[in-house]
Amino acid sequence: MDKRAYSKKAYATRRLKLTQQRPRNKPPTRLIILLIGLLLIFYLIGLISRNLSGGRVAALEAYVDQSNKIVEKSNQVAKGFEALKSGVEGVSRKELRSRLSQYTKDSQKISRDSNKIEPPEEMKEAHLYLAFCLELRAKGLEDYRPALFNALKDIDLEVASGQVSISLKDLALSDRAYLKFMSEVEAALKKEGVKKSIVVSKFLPQDTAYEKASIIPYLQQLKGVNSLKEVHGVGIAEFTTDPKQIKFTSSKKLATLPSADTIKVEITIENQGNQIELNIPVTVALKSETQPKEQKKQMYVTSLLPDHKKTIVISGLEPTQDSDVVNLLTVTVGPVPKEKLTDNNVNELKFIME
């Protein structure tokens, strides 16, 4: 056979085989796999996006709930403070001091609690305004109480009214800080489509409450309230001797003490006014029928709060020990400056020793 004829036949055969091996209707597998992969990626991106969006919404809602609880507590303090401020004529100095102290403690705790909140990223700047607001409220209340009591004590109200003004200005500034906080939060909630809202909070009903023009007349009014006026007074709550009496004859008002070279006297002093009293003198005097010259000993109570008591002991008094001789022990407390009622400042014990 001619070589060229054989070569053509072999080439044709190989070409025929190659043509037969290529399937005409087989689907493009790689393209399908690529499309499926792209769809899966888009689905995962959407799912992650929805999860992130849902997480942000949940975090914002939780933050609003936590903040509202804190602010509602502050609103309760504001409500009590304003009621006390407008109705102070009906309370005593003791109650006024107690309630203002409690409002201060409550506000300080509220401020501390606000600092424990962990705001989401979108709320970190806004939360600074809330923390500042609550800190101002605690500081304003802390300064208000001593300023108000200075006003009740001072004759000239210039200094005290300035102190009250500064404390109320802090409370007014807290309201401005809270408005900024509300604005920031509401913008973030609107952006994310969150339906929750932040509570309204305004500590002072009037923006001009800190102006001296309104403070001085208010303080002058308070100074005329009887229940808020200064009352100074101390008294003897109790006193006993050592050795203690072994008998008391009521008809003669005469006590009998066991024989002793010296006696001690234990005296309990009470502050019956509404002011702190300082350097209260406590004097014990002893004399007898045969010893007319008094033995005197004196001590001082450095300070005593209203409605508080303090006990001191004075010793070294030498009584006449003859059972037929009557001794007279006199205890005197105060009086303190501006004290008007002194009936209970002096007490006596008449006794013999056997």
Domain that holds residue 207: 45-228
182: which residues sit within 8 A by CB, 6+ positions away? 198, 200
Interatomic CA distance for residues 79 and 85, integer angstroms = 10
Answer whether residue 21 is part of any domain: no
Distances (CA, A) of 314 to 152, 240, 263, 334: 37, 11, 9, 16
166 and 285 part of one domain: no
209 and 253 part of one domain: no
190 and 251 part of one domain: no
Distances (CA, A) of 325 to 289, 292, 315: 6, 12, 21
Per-residue pLDDT 10s for the chain (354 aa) are: 555 554 555 544 555 454 445 555 555 677 777 777 666 665 555 444 444 445 688 899 999 999 999 999 999 999 999 999 888 878 888 899 999 999 999 999 999 999 999 999 889 999 999 999 999 999 999 999 999 999 888 888 889 999 999 999 999 999 999 999 999 999 988 888 888 889 999 999 988 888 888 898 888 888 887 777 788 999 999 999 999 999 999 999 999 999 999 999 999 999 998 888 999 999 999 999 999 899 999 999 999 998 899 999 999 999 999 999 999 999 999 999 989 888 889 999 999 999
Which of the listed residues 198, 228, 258 is the one where a domain comes to its end? 228
pLDDT of residue 165: 94
Answer whether residue 13 is part of any domain: no
Spatial contact of 68 and 198, defined as CB atoms under 8 Å apart: yes
Interatomic CA distance for residues 114 and 121, integer angstroms = 16
Answer whether residue 32 is part of any domain: no
103 and 152 part of one domain: yes
Domains in the chain, number:
2
Tokens read off for 56 = 């942000």
Answer whether residue 202 is part of any domain: yes
Secondary structure (3-state) at 157:
coil
pLDDT of residue 14: 52
Interatomic CA distance for residues 108 and 143, integer angstroms = 12
79 and 179 part of one domain: yes
Strand 254-257 relative to strand 346-353: parallel, antiparallel, unpaired?
Answer: parallel
**Beta-bridge mates of residue 298:** 283
Spatial contact of 353 and 259, defined as CB atoms under 8 Å apart: yes
189 and 208 part of one domain: yes
Spatial contact of 186 and 198, defined as CB atoms under 8 Å apart: yes
344 and 248 part of one domain: yes
Query: H or E segment at 145?
Result: helix 124-153
208 and 67 part of one domain: yes
pLDDT of residue 29: 78
218 and 282 part of one domain: no
Which of the listed residues 175, 199, 228 is the one where a domain comes to its end? 228
Interatomic CA distance for residues 123 and 107, integer angstroms = 22
CA 212 from chain centre, in angstroms, equals: 26
Tokens read off for 264 = 């001690």
Answer whether residue 66 is part of any domain: yes
199 and 312 part of one domain: no
263 and 223 part of one domain: no
Angle between helix 124-153 and 212-223 (nearest 10): 40
What is the CATH number for 348?
A: 2.60.40.10
83: which residues sit within 8 A by CB, 6+ positions away? none
260 and 159 part of one domain: no
Answer whether residue 26 is part of any domain: no
Strand 346-353 relative to strand 234-242: parallel, antiparallel, unpaired?
Answer: unpaired
Which of the listed residues 228, 263, 287 is the one where a domain comes to its end? 228
Tokens read off for 100 = 């203002």
Spatial contact of 239 and 266, defined as CB atoms under 8 Å apart: yes
Answer whether residue 31 is part of any domain: no
Answer whether residue 8 is part of any domain: no
